[in-house]
């Protein structure tokens, strides 16, 4: 198997690095395990310390104890168990209460609270528990709760409820109301609606909110110590108490007991409930193209794309062959259009040329360059798809200037080129705007202009205008055709729209089941029934002649 | 199912009653106590005396400077570590081992982190003993003081260790959510080197997303209690520890002063939070 540049994790960031490289995945897993080991290593010390002197390295670990550690554990078991039970009871109560109340609050706001409500909800996060606990001590004493586990839980609940309310409201997507409405309209009662519609969708969020708030309670010291007043022995209070007694082994035991449930929860969440690892992530490095009619004013710089030559290129996922023996040549300054239905392999062919999927066999050369074995910087192959990807921290003109700056061109020349390109794209008045401040069509134009200023030797376009409305799409097709001829771009343009193919293309091919069929002329392409063009012509002819749309099969009859 | 105005109002009332009211009580009680209108000493002290005494304390300014510096240093360290991990190893975001380890450290109580730092970095701790066994120092007491020290090195490291996991997890998630990897590929396609792509494209994108969390972490570190209690110096001390020591002082005249400090602290964090929310609202349109 020929391994191209997309398979090397050192060449490309993670999204693309996962495309097919087993060694890349292995090294990523190795790094992850090394990273995890470094993070978890300090907990090993806790374990050693909790085991006591019998398990310590002589003179290496501090605070050696003279008594047998297991006996001390046994003596202390009752105290430790009581602390665990107290912490667990408070944590469960606070978690359950905060989750239920927090969900109710978020539901009433139907999204993140605004203005003063947001301030109220966030305030408990930043206020020191010492201040809050001390000032709440008075009313809790009056209520007879100071110095009790209930009092500690009540004080913790203030922060936990805010935590859950913010969590729910920030993740609110409005589905609860719609699900409730849908289930109610289908005849369900309130209980049935919650059981069948709301609970299945939101149980994951509830679980996370419960875990967060219960964990907050489990790990809290400020409220437990100050509101509890030494009467409530939670695990954190116990940890401090054992430290004050300089009983390091027992403190380590309490610390381990504090960490263990969290560690179990984190591992369970990551390995059993976490998202499955991404494989074969979709990752054409996107950006796109132009729009708007009118003649571009930017002068052609005498630039020309490269000569592309592809020979018997095959791509397979497992035993399934996606692209089979694709062979074609493309002269500099020409655009090859590949037409095909969804899933026929045309996008995979582009991804293979871009170096984003491993190639099974074959060759692809751009002039003298072996396209499958060079990094993106060297090959100057640009991929553009229907989703424009702008650098959000840069203005429109900074986006356009990116590639010339990377090439180290003089600033005055960059400024001139960018200004000319802005004029050509009709974006001069938007030059200082950011990604979020311009429309979808304008973003497409910026991405296209940026691609042109990168002087690509090959431009790969994957249905770049697919997400645009009909009018904008037409303008973009015209602009692409004009600029690609002016700049003499070498491009492979994938589409499923035969009209678009005829506007932008110089040569034509159709892909079906992974195989390419080439057409000698545009007329041959238009005459092939498989492209759908004859049927389209017949449809409109019949519609004009009869004033009625043809019936089922009528078009085929007419074509025949 | 139609939503009633009553249901919407009920949620707001619950938030007000269970969160807003205790907060308001906390500020109100502190203020009234500090000016001598409530509390044991209400008839014995002139109104405002506690405030004058609290601010006349010579150590207060040092405490404020110390608290802000420690919180800023710890937050900066945490942000640098998180950005370094996210930029250097973005694939960790989709690796279960890394997620589990980060989750464990994220859920570790500050008290345990403090305990670990004490065991590792205190004079005569593990690091000192290892250094002695390695022949780097003659005795554990020669090891540099990292706990309860003047530069608060241990405290800063511990606070950063508490803040860094959440930031790292957040940034790793952002790497995927904001498609930063794709932006890097694009930048490389446009002629940038791998370093340039990370430095000019990925870093600004990550930093923009990290700023709100960093500001929140700073406020959290400012009010931290357990770690400064375990690892900080007696003087100057972090603001939370100072307030708590005034509260628990055997001399009852210290309490109004403590409440005065609590009110000042309240005002600082409330102002910080208000600015943070305003900043978030202004910058919201740039977030992905």
Across B10-16, average pLDDT: 89
CB contact under 8 A, A277 and B95: yes
Confidence grade of residue B285 (pLDDT, cut at 50, 70, 90): very low
Contact yes or no for B185 and A16 at CB 8 A: yes
Maximum Cα–Cα distance across chain A: 105
Three-class secondary structure of residue A518 per DSSP:
strand
Q: Given this model, what pLDDT does residue A549 score? A: 66
* Mean pLDDT, residues A387-414 taken together: 87
d(CA A332, CA A69): 80
Quick check: helix, strand or coil at residue A361? strand
Q: Is A311 on the interface with B (CB under 8 A)?
A: no
pLDDT at B141: 75
Phi-psi region of B159 (alpha: psi -120 to 50; beta: other; left: phi over 0): alpha
pLDDT per residue as tens digits for the range A120-160: 998 888 888 888 888 888 788 888 888 899 999 999 999 99
Nearest residue of chain B to residue A403 (CA atoms): B190
Interface check B195 vs A, CB under 8 A: no
Kindly state whether A100 is in contact with chain B, defined as any CB-CB distance less than 8 angstroms: no
**Longest CA span, chain B:** 77
Residue B191: which of A158, A263, A406 has the nearest Cβ? A406
The arithmetic mean of pLDDT across residues B123-149, rounded, is 81
Find which of B10, B161, B177, B185 to mutate to test the A interface (most A CBs within 10 Å of its CB). B185
Secondary structure (3-state) at A293: coil
Task: List beta partners, residue A310.
Answer: A328, A364
Which among B102, B222, B191 has a CA at the least distance from the CA of A129?
Answer: B222
Per-residue confidence (pLDDT) for residue A455, from 0 to 100: 84
Q: Residues of chain B with pLDDT > 70: what percent? A: 92
Task: Tell me the average pLDDT of chain B.
Answer: 84
Asked if A35 has any chain B CB less than 8 Å from its own CB, the reply is yes
Beta bridge partners of A491: A335, A459
Give the per-residue pLDDT at B40. 65
Q: Rounded to the nearest 10 degrees, how much is the dihedral formed by the CA atoms of A270, A275, A278, A282? A: -150
Q: Percent of chain A beyond pLDDT 70?
A: 78
The pLDDT of A336-346, averaged and rounded, is 87
| Cα→Cα distances A126→B86, B183, B224, B258, Å | 26, 34, 9, 19
Give the pLDDT band of residue A188 (cuts 50, 70, 90).
Answer: low
**Between these two residues, A514 and B69, which has the higher pLDDT value?**
B69
The pLDDT of residue A75: 57
Q: Give yes or no for B215 touching A (CB within 8 A).
A: no
Selecting from B29, B104, B288 the residue whose C-beta is nearest the C-beta of A138 gives B29
- The CB density around residue A460, as the number of other CB atoms within 10 Å, is 26
Q: Which pLDDT band holds residue A283 (cuts at 50, 70, 90)?
A: very low
- B186: phi then psi, degrees, rounded to nearest 5: -60, -45
In chain A, what residues touch B191 (CB-CB under 8 Å)?
377, 380, 403, 406-407, 454
CB contact (8 A) between residue B185 and residue A285 = yes
Residue that wins the pLDDT comparison between A132 and A378: A132
pLDDT, position A278: 40
Q: Please name which of B25, B31, B55, B26 lies closest in space to residue B256, comparing C-alpha atoms.
A: B31
In the predicted structure, residue A57 carries a pLDDT above the cut 80: no
Interface of B with A in 43-82 (CB under 8 A): none
User: CB–CB of B115 and A239 under 8 A?
Assistant: yes
User: How far A249 CA sits from the closest chain B CA (Å)?
Assistant: 11
What is the overall mean pLDDT for chain A? 77
- Two tokens, residue A174: 């409005």
Cis before B236? omega within 30: yes
Q: What is the pLDDT of residues A489-532, one digit of tens each?
A: 899 999 888 888 999 899 999 998 888 888 888 888 888 888 88
DSSP A55: G
pLDDT in tens, A209-243: 999 899 999 999 989 988 888 888 898 998 888 88
Whether A444 and A389 have beta carbons less than 8 Å apart is answered as no
A-B CB pairs within 8 A amount to: 353
Lowest mean pLDDT among A202-206, A465-469, A538-542: A465-469
Q: How far apart are CA B72 and CA B78, in angstroms?
A: 10
Q: What pLDDT, on a 0 to 100 scale, did the predictor assign at position B83?
A: 94
Q: Which residues of A292-306 are buried (b: 16+ CB within 10 A; e: fewer)?
A: beeebebeeeeebbb
Minimal Cβ distance to A434: which of B92, B99, B286: B286
Provide the CB-side half-sphere exposure for A245 (13 A, CA). Answer: 11
pLDDT value for A528: 86
Q: Which residues of A touch B205 (CB under 8 A)?
A: 391-393
């Amino acid at each position: 198997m020929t391994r191209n540049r997309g398979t090397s994790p050192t060449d490309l960031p993670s999204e693309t690095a996962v495309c097919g490289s087993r060694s890349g995945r292995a090294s990523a897993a190795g790094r992850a395990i090394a990273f995890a080991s470094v993070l978890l290593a300090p907990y090993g010390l806790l374990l050693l310390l909790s085991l006591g002197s019998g398990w310590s390295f002589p003179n290496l670990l501090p605070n050696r104890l003279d008594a047998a550690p297991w006996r001390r554990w046994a003596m202390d078991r009752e105290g430790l168990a009581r602390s665990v039970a107290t912490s667990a009871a408070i944590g469960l109560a606070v978690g359950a209460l905060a989750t239920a109340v927090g969900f109710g609050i978020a539901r009433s706001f139907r999204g993140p609270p605004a203005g003063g409500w947001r301030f109220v909800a966030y305030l408990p996060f930043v206020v020191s528990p010492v201040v809050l606990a001390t000032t709440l001590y008075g009313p809790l004493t009056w209520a007879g709760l100071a110095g009790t586990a209930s009092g500690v839980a009540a004080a913790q609940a203030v922060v936990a409820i805010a935590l859950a309310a913010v969590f729910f409201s920030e993740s609110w997507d409005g589905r609860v109301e719609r699900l409730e409405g849908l289930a109610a309209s289908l005849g369900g009662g309130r209980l049935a609606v919650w059981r069948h519609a709301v609970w299945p969708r939101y149980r994951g969020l509830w679980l996370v909110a419960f875990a967060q708030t219960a964990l907050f309670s489990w790990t809290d010291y400020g409220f437990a110590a100050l509101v509890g007043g030494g009467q409530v022995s939670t695990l954190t209070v116990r940890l401090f108490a054992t430290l004050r007694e300089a009983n390091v082994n027992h403190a380590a035991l309490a610390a381990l007991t504090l960490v263990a449930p969290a560690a179990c929860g984190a591992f369970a969440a990551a390995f059993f409930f976490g998202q499955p690892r991404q494989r074969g992530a979709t990752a054409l490095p996107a950006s796109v193209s132009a729009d708007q009619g009118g003649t571009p004013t930017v002068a052609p710089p005498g630039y020309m794309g490269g000569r592309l030559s592809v020979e018997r290129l095959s791509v397979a996922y497992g035993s399934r062959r996606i692209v089979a023996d694709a062979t074609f040549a493309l002269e500099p300054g020409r655009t090859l259009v590949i037409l095909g239905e969804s899933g026929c392999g045309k996008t995979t062919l582009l991804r293979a040329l871009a170096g984003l999927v491993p190639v099974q066999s074959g060759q692809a050369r751009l002039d003298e360059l072996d396209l499958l074995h060079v990094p993106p910087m060297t090959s100057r192959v640009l991929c553009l798809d229907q989703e424009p990807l702008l650098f959000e921290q840069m203005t429109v003109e900074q986006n356009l200037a990116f590639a010339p700056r990377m090439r180290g061109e003089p600033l005055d020349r960059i400024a001139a080129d960018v200004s000319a390109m802005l004029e050509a794209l009709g974006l001069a008045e938007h030059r200082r705007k950011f990604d979020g401040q311009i429309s979808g069509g304008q973003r497409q134009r910026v991405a296209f202009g940026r691609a042109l200023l990168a002087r690509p030797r090959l431009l790969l376009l994957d249905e770049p205008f697919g997400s645009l409305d009909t009018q904008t799409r037409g303008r973009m097709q015209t602009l692409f055709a004009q600029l690609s001829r002016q700049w003499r771009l070498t491009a492979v343009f994938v589409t499923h729209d035969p009209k678009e193919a005829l506007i932008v293309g110089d040569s034509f091919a159709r892909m079906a089941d992974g195989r390419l069929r080439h057409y000698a002329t545009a007329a041959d392409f238009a005459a092939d029934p498989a492209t759908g063009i004859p049927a389209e012509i017949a449809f409109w002819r019949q519609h004009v002649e009869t004033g009625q749309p043809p019936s089922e099969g009528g078009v085929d009859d007419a074509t025949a | 199912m139609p939503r009633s105005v009553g249901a919407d109002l009920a949620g707001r009332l619950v938030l007000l009653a269970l969160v807003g009211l205790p907060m308001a009580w906390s500020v109100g009680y502190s203020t009234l106590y500090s000016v001598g209108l409530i509390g044991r000493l209400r008839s014995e002290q002139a109104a405002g005396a506690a405030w004058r005494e609290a601010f006349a304390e010579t150590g207060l300014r040092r405490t404020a400077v110390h608290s802000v510096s420690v919180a800023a240093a710890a937050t900066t360290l945490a942000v640098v570590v998180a950005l370094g991990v996210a930029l250097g190893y973005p694939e960790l975001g989709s690796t279960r081992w890394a997620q589990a380890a980060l989750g464990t450290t994220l859920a570790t109580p500050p008290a345990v982190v403090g305990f670990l730092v004490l065991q590792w970095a205190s004079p005569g701790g593990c690091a000192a003993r290892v250094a002695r066994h390695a022949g780097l120092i003659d005795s554990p007491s020669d090891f540099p003081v990292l706990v309860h020290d003047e530069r608060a090195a241990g405290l800063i490291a511990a606070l950063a260790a508490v803040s860094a996991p959440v930031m790292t997890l957040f940034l790793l998630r952002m790497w995927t959510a904001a498609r930063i990897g794709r932006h890097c590929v694009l930048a490389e396609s446009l002629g940038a080197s791998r370093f340039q792509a990370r430095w000019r494209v990925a870093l600004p994108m990550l930093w923009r997303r990290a700023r709100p969390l960093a500001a929140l972490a700073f406020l959290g570190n400012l009010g931290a209690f357990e770690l400064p209690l375990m690892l900080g110096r007696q003087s100057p001390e972090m603001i939370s520890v100072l307030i708590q020591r005034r509260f628990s002082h055997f001399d009852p005249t210290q309490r109004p002063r403590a409440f005065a400090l609590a009110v000042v602290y309240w005002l600082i964090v409330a102002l910080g939070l208000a600015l943070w929310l305003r900043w978030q609202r202004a910058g919201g349109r740039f977030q992905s």
